[in-house]
């Protein structure tokens, strides 16, 4: 028979394993820009300047550094066409990167709900915006 202490140790181990896995994922995709860059590349923005335009606010230096990190971590592949003039580099998501797309889609859905919740609590000249925004809530979603 399992004691209460054993159950707590199991919960503690499961929690710390989950937190370690999340920490590992955030090491690869964490920060302000990495996930945005991966989404941009997965969406078809494969050249440096296209990515810089798609990921609003990112500087060329930061984009360059982030692309190097993503390549080092096996998230993207940099392909260089040396025969082209000028030399053309493109970025492609790896199979590893493609595994994060369903998570990104879920995160985007959650972000939409979060935005709706935020707006419902915002007032405009003392009137809550609930009435105006209720039509934005997708069917099946519940506002927290």
Q: What is the mean pLDDT of residues 34-44?
A: 94
| Coarse DSSP helix, strand, coil percentages of the chain, rounded to the nearest 5 percent | 60, 10, 30
The token pair that represents 48 in the structure block:
């440096």
**Bigger pLDDT: 37 vs 6:** 37
- Of 23, 18, 35, nearest to 108 (Cα)? 35
* pLDDT higher than threshold 70 for residue 120: no
Query: Phi first, then psi: what are they for 123, rounded to 5°?
Result: -110, 150
pLDDT band at 137 (very low <50, low <70, confident <90, very high): low
Instruction: Extract the runs of DSSP E, i.e. beta strands, from 29-144.
Output: 76-81, 88-93, 123-124, 127-128
The pLDDT of residue 131 is 52
* pLDDT higher than threshold 70 for residue 53: yes
- Condensed to tens digits (0 to 9), the pLDDT of residues 12-30 reads 888 888 889 989 988 899 9
Q: Would you give the DSSP letter of residue 55?
A: S
Q: Rounded to the nearest 10 degrees, how much is the dihedral formed by the CA atoms of 118, 122, 127, 130?
A: -10
* pLDDT higher than threshold 80 for residue 127: no
Residue 48's Cβ-count burial label (10 Å; 0-12, 13-18, 19+) is: middle
Q: What is the mean pLDDT of residues 71-92?
A: 91
């Amino acid at each position: 028979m399992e004691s209460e202490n054993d159950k707590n140790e199991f919960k503690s181990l499961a929690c710390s394993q989950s937190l370690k896995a999340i920490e590992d994922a955030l090491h690869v995709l964490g920060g302000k820009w990495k996930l945005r860059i991966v989404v941009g590349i997965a969406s078809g923005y494969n050249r440096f300047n296209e990515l810089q335009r798609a990921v609003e606010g990112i500087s060329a230096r930061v984009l360059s550094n982030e692309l190097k990190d993503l390549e080092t971590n096996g998230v993207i592949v940099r392909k260089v066409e040396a025969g082209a003039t000028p030399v053309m580099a493109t970025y492609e998501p790896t199979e590893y990167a493609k595994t994060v797309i369903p998570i990104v889609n879920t995160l985007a859905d959650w972000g939409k709900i979060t935005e709706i919740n935020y707006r419902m609590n915002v007032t405009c000249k003392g009137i809550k915006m609930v009435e105006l925004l209720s039509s934005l809530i997708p069917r099946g979603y519940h506002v927290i």
